[in-house]
Amino acid sequence: MTSVSCHDAGSEPSPARRLVAVLHLDIVGYTRLIALDDLHTLMRMRRIRAEIVTVEATRNGGVLHQSAGDSLLITFDSIAGAVACSLNIQRRVGEAEAGEPEERRITFRAGIDVGDVIADGSDIHGNGVNVAVRLQSACPVGQVCISRAVHDHLHGQLGVPVQPLGRLPLKNIAEPVEAFVLWVDAHLLPAMPIGNPDARPVTSTPSIATLPFRVLSLNVEDRLLVDGLVEEINHSLAGLKELFVISRGSTLRYDPDHADLAEVARELGVGYILHGSVRRAPQGLRIRTELADASDLRVIRSDHYDGEGASLFELQERIALQVAATIVPDVREREMRRAMRKPPSSLTAYDLVLQAVDALFRITYKPFLRARALLQQAIALDPDYAPAYSYAAYACIFQVGEGWSVDPEADARAAAELAAQAIERDPHDAIALAICGHVHAFLLHRFDEAVHALDRAIEAGPNCPLAWTMSSATCGYLGQGRLAVERAERGLQLSPLDVRVFWPQAILAQAHYVDGDYAQAIEWARRALGNCPTAIFNLRTLAVSLVARGAVREAREIAAHLLEIRPDFRLTTYAAHCPFRGEHLTRWIERLREAGLPD
C-alpha cells in the first residue's frame, strides 16, 4: 500500500524496529455517511485530510502511514506530539463540521499508545499499533483515548479533563490495557466524578476510599483474610448515610506499596483515604491503619490492632466505627452498628463467594458454571451466610438474561426463592434487597414488589452502587426514563472505577434510551461494550438505540456480533421474557427486528 505522509514514509529506510507513539483515527459511522451522501461525504473527507490531518501531523512531527477508507494511522517520535496532534484534529474537525446536519457530520474516535513497531516498506506493524486501534474503538465520539504509558509520560501536562476508564479488555489483546479518555469538549464530560482529576462527588457528605492494605510477611491464607477484612470494612462504611463511599472495585487497581495518595484522591474525587498494613506478629496479626485528609495528605488518625484470624470480623467493626466517628463526629454509635454488614461464620464460605462473583462477571458460560458451583458450595458450608444466597439469585438473573437458561420459568422461581432466603437471613442488607428487587422486576415482572424492595435497598445502603443501578433498571422497564437516568448516574458515581463498570454503564445506556436520548444511550452502551464485549443485554440496548437514531447499518453490525456470541438468539423466545411493558416493549422488539435479529 502506498503511504501518504507528511515526511515521505517510504523514501528512506527505517530501522527494523523502533519505539514510537502511535495515533489511530477512525471515522464514526463511515458506511452510514457514505450511504446518506457519498459524493459530499468523500469531498469533505478529502478536505479534512488535506487541510487538518496532514497539517497537524506535519506541525507535530508525525508520519502518516494509512489513509485509505475510514481510518488514519500516524506515528510520532514524541508522545507529546501525538497527543497535541490528536487534540487539535478533534477540535478542528468539530469546528469544520459544525454547519452540517448532526446525522451527516464526520467525527473521529482516536486512540494513542506507545510501543515498538516494525517497518514493512511504508507500512508498520506491532503491538503499539494494535493497542492504539483497540483504544480508538473504546473511545467516546470526538475524544481521544490513551494508554497508561501515554498518560504517565504527560501527567499534569495534558491540558484537558481526563477520565480514567480502568483496565479495558480489548479484542485480540492478551492483557487488559489501562486507559484514559482526554475530553476535547469538556461540555460532554459526564456530570459525575468519573475520571475528572479535579472532581469531587456531587454531595455535601464526606467522601472516602479504602485502598488495598499492604501485606507484610504473610502467607497465602493470611492474604486472603486481609482481602476479606478490607472488603468488610468498605461494606460497613458504605452502609452509613453520613458517608459517600467509593466502591471497593474502584480501588483494586491501586498498588498499596506505590500508590500516590494525592493522585488517588484526584482520580476518585474523595476527601479522605483509608489505607494500612498487616503483618504477622508472635501473637497473631497486627493491623495498622491511617486515615489521611486528601487536601493536604495529613494523617488525621493512626491506629493499631492485634488479633487472630477468628477475631478479624470484630476488628473490622472496630476499625469502621472509629473511622466513621473521626469523619462524622455527630454520628451515633447505634446508627453505625446498625449499618455493619453481618460477617460470615466461615471464612471459607466468604472466600468462595468472592471467587464466584469474579467468575460471574466474566459474562461467559464456562466461568458462569464455575460461579454457580462455588455459590452452591458456599451455601452448603455456611447456610446462614446471606450473600451466598443473594449472588446465587444474581446468577439466575444472568442465566436467563444472557440466554443460557433451558427453563427460564424454573430459573425465575429459583431466583425468587434464593433472594427471599437472603433477606430472611439479613433483612437490612442493601445488596440482598437490591438483587431481590431486580429478580421481581427482570424475571417475574412483579413491579410493585420490585419497587418496594429497591426502595428498601436504597434506604438500607444509600452508598450501595448496586441498589441505585438496579433501581434504575426497574425504572427503565416501567418507562420512567428521567428517574432511571438519575438513579443510574448515582450508581455510577458511587462506583467510578469499578472493575465491573460495564454493568452500571449498560444500565445508564438503557436509561438514556428509555428517556429518549439515543445519542447518550449509544455513547454509554459503547463504553460498556469496550469493557465487556460479550454482554448480550448491552448489545441489545446498543442495537435498538442505533436503530432509533437512524443508524440501521451500524445496528445490524451490532446484531451480527450478538449472533456470533448467541447464534440461537430468537426474538420470539426473548420477547416472552423481556421486562419492558406496553409500547416500550413493542418498540423495543420492533427495533431489534429492524437491526436484523431473527424471529
Rg (CA), the chain: 25
pLDDT reported for residue 267: 80
Distance between CA atoms of 84 and 366, rounded to whole angstroms?
A: 44
Residue 379 shares a structural domain with residue 329 = no
Residues 292 and 300 sit within 8 Å (Cβ to Cβ): yes
The count of domains in the chain is 4
473 belongs to a structural domain: no
Distance between CA atoms of 156 and 145, rounded to whole angstroms?
A: 16
Give the percent of the chain with pLDDT over 90: 33
pLDDT reported for residue 342: 37
Distance between CA atoms of 309 and 303, rounded to whole angstroms?
A: 18
Residue 184 shares a structural domain with residue 244 = no
Which residue has 495518595 as its cell numbers? 261
Grid cell, residue 593, equals 427486528
Residues 136 and 86 sit within 8 Å (Cβ to Cβ): no
On the question of pLDDT at 241 being above 60, the answer is no
pLDDT band (50, 70, 90) for residue 458:
confident
Helices and strands, counts by H and E, the chain? 24, 14
Residue 61 shares a structural domain with residue 144 = yes
Distance between CA atoms of 63 and 67, rounded to whole angstroms?
A: 11
pLDDT reported for residue 498: 66
**Bridge partner list, 23:** 74, 112
| Chain mean position to CA 585 | 27
Which residue has 452498628 as its cell numbers? 337
Residue 509 shares a structural domain with residue 586 = yes
Mean pLDDT of 253-261: 84
The residue with greater pLDDT, 443 or 331, is 443
Residue 98 shares a structural domain with residue 148 = yes
467 belongs to a structural domain: no
**Bridge partner list, 280:** 285
Residue 510 shares a structural domain with residue 536 = yes
Residue 443 shares a structural domain with residue 557 = no
What's the 3-state SS for 299-324?
EEEEEEEEECHHHHHHHHHHHHHHHH
Of 458, 389, 469, 372, the C-alpha closest to 426 is 389
Distance between CA atoms of 487 and 468, rounded to whole angstroms?
A: 5
Beta strands 272-281 and 214-216 are parallel
201 belongs to a structural domain: no
CATH number (domain holding residue 163): 3.30.70.1230
pLDDT reported for residue 118: 83
What distances in angstroms separate CA 285 from CA 225, 306, 317, 321, one per listed residue?
10, 6, 16, 20
On the question of pLDDT at 459 being above 50, the answer is yes
Mean pLDDT of 365-373: 84
pLDDT band (50, 70, 90) for residue 238:
low
Beta strands 144-147 and 108-120 are parallel
Residue 307 shares a structural domain with residue 447 = no
Give the torsion through C-alpha atoms of 71, 76, 78, 79, to 10 deg: 20
475 belongs to a structural domain: no
Give the torsion through C-alpha atoms of 457, 460, 464, 467, to 10 deg: 10
Cα–Cα–Cα angle for 406, 409, 413, rounded to 5 degrees: 120
pLDDT band (50, 70, 90) for residue 202:
very low
| Chain mean position to CA 30 | 27
Residue 226 shares a structural domain with residue 372 = no
7 belongs to a structural domain: no
Q: What are phi and psi of 265, to 5 degrees?
A: -60, -40
- Residue 6, amino acid: C
12 belongs to a structural domain: no
- Kindly provide the b/e burial profile for residues 569-579, where b requires at least 16 CB atoms within 10 angstroms of the residue's own CB: beeeebbebbb
pLDDT band (50, 70, 90) for residue 201:
very low
pLDDT digits (tens, 9 = 90+) for 64-83: 886 666 788 999 999 999 99
- Residue 253, amino acid: R
Grid cell, residue 194, equals 468519573
Give the torsion through C-alpha atoms of 306, 307, 309, 312, to 10 deg: -80
Of 545, 463, 565, 571, the C-alpha closest to 241 is 463
* Residue ranges in 328-385 assigned as alpha helix (H): 333-339, 347-360, 365-381
Which has the minimum average pLDDT: 116-125, 201-210, 211-220, 546-555? 201-210
3-state class percentages of the chain: helix first, strand second, coil last, to nearest 5: 55, 15, 30
Residues 368 and 359 sit within 8 Å (Cβ to Cβ): yes
Of 151, 179, 168, the C-alpha closest to 21 is 151
Would you call 294 helix, strand, or coil by DSSP? coil
Grid cell, residue 406, equals 433451558
Which has the minimum average pLDDT: 254-263, 276-285, 471-480, 531-540? 276-285
Of 323, 339, 355, which marks where a domain is finished? 339
pLDDT band (50, 70, 90) for residue 486:
very high
pLDDT digits (tens, 9 = 90+) for 303-337: 777 765 545 566 666 665 555 545 443 333 333 33
Distance between CA atoms of 259 and 251, rounded to whole angstroms?
A: 10
Distance between CA atoms of 383 and 389, rounded to whole angstroms?
A: 9
Grid cell, residue 527, equals 463504553
Q: Helices 582-594 and 552-565, interaxial angle, to 10°?
A: 90
pLDDT reported for residue 546: 96
pLDDT reported for residue 368: 85
Mean pLDDT of 464-480: 92
**Class of residue 385 by CB neighbours under 10 A (exposed 0-12, middle 13-18, buried 19+):** buried
On the question of pLDDT at 254 being above 80, the answer is yes
6 belongs to a structural domain: no
pLDDT digits (tens, 9 = 90+) for 381-423: 788 888 889 999 999 999 888 888 878 888 899 999 999 999 9
The domain of 426 spans 345-462
- Residue 15, amino acid: P
Q: Give the chain's mean pLDDT.
A: 80
On the question of pLDDT at 218 being above 70, the answer is no
Residue 262 shares a structural domain with residue 287 = yes
Residues with Cβ within 8 Å of 591's Cβ and at least 6 positions away in sequence, in order, are: 543, 544, 547, 548, 555
Distance between CA atoms of 134 and 346, rounded to whole angstroms?
A: 43
Residue 414 shares a structural domain with residue 500 = no
Run of H or E including 260:
none
Of 181-190, 217-226, 235-244, 444-453, give the range with the top mean pLDDT. Answer: 444-453
Of 188-192, 217-221, 318-322, give the range with the top mean pLDDT. Answer: 217-221
Of 554, 591, 593, 557, the C-alpha closest to 32 is 554
Would you call 17 helix, strand, or coil by DSSP? strand
Of 295, 317, 339, which marks where a domain is finished? 339
Run of H or E including 434:
helix 430-438
Distance between CA atoms of 553 and 232, rounded to whole angstroms?
A: 47
What distances in angstroms separate CA 456 from CA 1, 108, 436, one per listed residue?
62, 44, 11
pTM for the whole thing?
0.52
Grid cell, residue 202, equals 456531587
CATH number (domain holding residue 446): 1.25.40.10
Run of H or E including 74:
strand 71-76
Beta strands in 121-195 (DSSP E): 123-125, 144-147, 162-168, 177-182
Grid cell, residue 530, equals 469496550
527 belongs to a structural domain: yes
Cα–Cα–Cα angle for 474, 532, 518, rounded to 5 degrees: 55
CATH number (domain holding residue 236): 3.40.50.10070
Residues with Cβ within 8 Å of 202's Cβ and at least 6 positions away in sequence, in order, are: 191, 192, 193, 493
Residue 487 shares a structural domain with residue 562 = yes
pLDDT digits (tens, 9 = 90+) for 43-59: 999 999 999 999 999 99
Of 292, 316, 339, which marks where a domain is finished? 339
